[in-house]
Structure 1
């Protein structure tokens, strides 16, 4: 009799589990995981493609004799960064630890259940690894045309493995700044890159011929504005993955509004940077206009999910104005930044993060939220600036005092393509004596 009862109960259980309702719930859950995973990976691939944009912007804004060196630095940021971030960076950023740094999960091993992910850990790591590469590669432009390749590689290892992950842990990994709003990384990613870029520019010193004895600056025009413009369009395109992908959930329908705020801020940045340069210089400046797009994108990245469309336009427009004046100010301070990385990523990243404290529809000062959020944002901006600039400055100084950060005057004049890589990006335009020196060197 008991056996019959047990069989009957088993039969009832099977009917319940195989009922259309149960099957539908199971299917819906598995579909949601699949959609979220696919979405996160697609966004990661878009952010990865942004590296091509950075490379084009930096190469276009610098001289032809250094274009190959720019490409080499960018591809190594991605490659070295991925390996180092796998070894320790991800663990420092998201591992279980204390309020300062994660201390568990190296080599992507260990428990990350505390993250509460709805997607595989590997998909989340891919997305985060390309963010780390973005932070690292921002410095390349500010350090362009006079940096030793070996010195730059050391920097790339340290920022991907330690400097950036520590900031990420503070804000995104459950650290002591986890209550600030930085949805996709105006501070975590862009300000980190921007303040590190400022440290690099100061330690390296200006390029030969950039400043006169009276302190006035000379223009050292980039070799290809078309290339720079292509890079900006690639970055703008990739930014849709950067911001909307930070939901790590394709089933989160806020991705639509995030895409709108991202696009509006970029467009407003372009328009206001163009108008500002037109008023100041009498002509609409191409490079300032291009940087206006990036300024708007960097500015909106912190609050892209927290502000409405009007707020996005305000942030983008003000970032477009700010970047013009920030580029001029940094130039007057004789921190030679060939691409405007400090102004775009450092200054506008900090500005955009602060604007969340004013314009966030939930908690912003202008929406009745008081000063609490603004003070929290300011604390995060200042703390990250101090940490990143000081650690980067110490790093660059240490490298400079040991193996050296800057190439010789002769190497800088000849160009880093030849002196650092024994190659040229535009062989049809290289003088005959330079071609002969390449041939001899290769034979040796």
Structure 2
């Protein structure tokens, strides 16, 4: 019998969920067919998880709007095309391979080995497994689409198809198994980070840092967009073409995050309101942090930085949304908002890496911060709450492991694809815009702008 039906939230990554709910909620329905209370709770859990998954799916639209708005009009359709690809191809590949590698029977704490195409699942376990798979599939699509933002406006679409498939089918699931492997089969699927007590409730590292570090590796291997840096290496701003569209995308993402974080309980219980509160408080803190530091540094409150601050706060609270208090959530979000502005400047101006939407800062850096914040602010085990350094040490190990894996494997993947298929479009195609060069159409017919640098 699938252990997820007994303990849908896992033994380490879901510490904030009540033990009574964990042990009693998800027994198979046929075992208690006469128990009306049990059946009501069981069906409520399925319904809540399904609704949360639908909210997370909507985040794909949010990512598309943010990425398109923060980049130029001549490649907006290409951005949307890659978001459709990430969700569609990613869903199929995650069904065939990724889910099994992430949640199947464990082999050495590093990889799952069962459940390919959901094979071998008992008929009585299928209703919950279908729901759990759908919830996890939209998380996989989120990790993939983060990569497209950091590589925007100069990546070959054909090569990106391979990138998207490898991220959702291999790279994301393997590292995800380390931290979340037990969520489907209990101890039979537990990964090595779970065994250490690693805490990442909804995926600051599992989802966001993996996507962010992959985006960083991709941007480095690709090189900057034409005209991004002067001959003496000075960074030039390339403004996005539609800030209102980007703002709409941020609000859609904020809305969808109420499925991302509270939905990670996979349980309709009394914790979801608290998790939603922490999520929104951190996002608000991120907005304020980014707004004030950009105001201080640039003389005016920058719109795009403030928007990224909201996302930074959301990414930062994702790991600890169920294990920290509301006051800590504000602090975590506020620091994430400060970090994202400083990180974007550092990557752009010091490292001279062209990340058009700040994906590596928002998701990589702030995902790492949120994961470490659990070691500081967790009510149970955090350093600032009398827990000592033990949890913080485990969180540091996890942050390092996800960086080495995602950035290292990403660098190798992008370098190999660059040699085999070519990773970047030709200069004249980039100047013309990827909408025409790669897809033969315009996003804004009659308003296409051509640039010479």
Find the partner of 1:415 among 412, 433, 445: 433
Distance (whole Å) between structure 1 residues aligned to residue 148 and residue 142 of structure 2: 10
Superposition deviation, residue 109 in structure 1? 1.0
Find the partner of 1:317 among 334, 347, 372: 334
Superposition deviation, residue 105 in structure 1? 1.0
Distance (whole Å) between structure 2 residues aligned to residue 107 and residue 42 of structure 1: 23
Match of 2:101 in 1: 92
Alpha-carbon contact 1:33-1:119 (below 8 Å) kept: no
**Closer/same/farther in 2, CA of residues 359 and 431 from structure 1, 3 Å limit:** closer
Find the partner of 2:35 among 26, 30, 36: 26
Match of 1:138 in 2: 146
Distance (whole Å) between structure 1 residues aligned to residue 114 and residue 69 of structure 2: 41
Distance (whole Å) between structure 1 residues aligned to residue 41 and residue 200 of structure 2: 25
Match of 2:28 in 1: none
Superposition deviation, residue 118 in structure 1? 11
Distance (whole Å) between structure 1 residues aligned to residue 147 and residue 51 of structure 2: 26
Superposition deviation, residue 110 in structure 1? 2.0
Matches within 5 A, 1:4-403: 26-98=35-107, 99-111=109-121, 120-173=128-181, 174-178=190-194, 179-250=197-268, 252-332=269-349, 333-403=351-421
Distance (whole Å) between structure 1 residues aligned to residue 238 and residue 405 of structure 2: 32
**Closer/same/farther in 2, CA of residues 384 and 31 from structure 1, 3 Å limit:** same
Structure 1-normalised TM-score? 0.90
Distance (whole Å) between structure 2 residues aligned to residue 62 and residue 23 of structure 1: 55
Alpha-carbon contact 2:74-2:449 (below 8 Å) kept: no
Give the secondary structure class of the aligned counterpart of 2:247: helix
**Closer/same/farther in 2, CA of residues 425 and 377 from structure 1, 3 Å limit:** same
Structure 2-normalised TM-score? 0.88
Match of 2:422 in 1: 404
Unpaired runs of 5+ residues, structure 2, are 1-30, 182-189
**Closer/same/farther in 2, CA of residues 266 and 431 from structure 1, 3 Å limit:** closer
Alpha-carbon contact 1:33-1:118 (below 8 Å) kept: no
Distance (whole Å) between structure 1 residues aligned to residue 397 and residue 231 of structure 2: 39
Distance (whole Å) between structure 2 residues aligned to residue 23 and residue 256 of structure 1: 28
Distance (whole Å) between structure 1 residues aligned to residue 60 and residue 229 of structure 2: 30
Alignment coverage as a number of residue pairs: 408
Give the secondary structure class of the aligned counterpart of 1:222: coil
Which one has a bigger Cα radius of gyration? 1
Alpha-carbon contact 1:95-1:112 (below 8 Å) kept: no
Match of 2:5 in 1: none
**Closer/same/farther in 2, CA of residues 361 and 126 from structure 1, 3 Å limit:** same
Distance (whole Å) between structure 1 residues aligned to residue 237 and residue 33 of structure 2: 65
Q: Which deviates more from structure 2 when the two are superposed, residues 181-190 or residues 103-112?
A: 103-112
**Closer/same/farther in 2, CA of residues 166 and 225 from structure 1, 3 Å limit:** same
**Closer/same/farther in 2, CA of residues 118 and 32 from structure 1, 3 Å limit:** farther
Superposition deviation, residue 292 in structure 1? 0.3
Give the secondary structure class of the aligned counterpart of 1:120: helix
**Where does structure 1 differ by over 4 angstroms across 4 or more consecutive aligned residues?**
22-25, 116-119
Unpaired runs of 5+ residues, structure 1, are 1-21, 433-444
Distance (whole Å) between structure 2 residues aligned to residue 96 and residue 382 of structure 1: 25
Superposition deviation, residue 430 in structure 1? 2.9
Alpha-carbon contact 1:40-1:245 (below 8 Å) kept: yes
**Closer/same/farther in 2, CA of residues 429 and 45 from structure 1, 3 Å limit:** same
Give the secondary structure class of the aligned counterpart of 2:282: helix
Alpha-carbon contact 1:186-1:352 (below 8 Å) kept: yes
**Closer/same/farther in 2, CA of residues 112 and 128 from structure 1, 3 Å limit:** farther
Alpha-carbon contact 2:86-2:164 (below 8 Å) kept: yes
**Closer/same/farther in 2, CA of residues 311 and 408 from structure 1, 3 Å limit:** same
Distance (whole Å) between structure 1 residues aligned to residue 116 and residue 212 of structure 2: 27
CA-atom RMSD in angstroms: 1.7
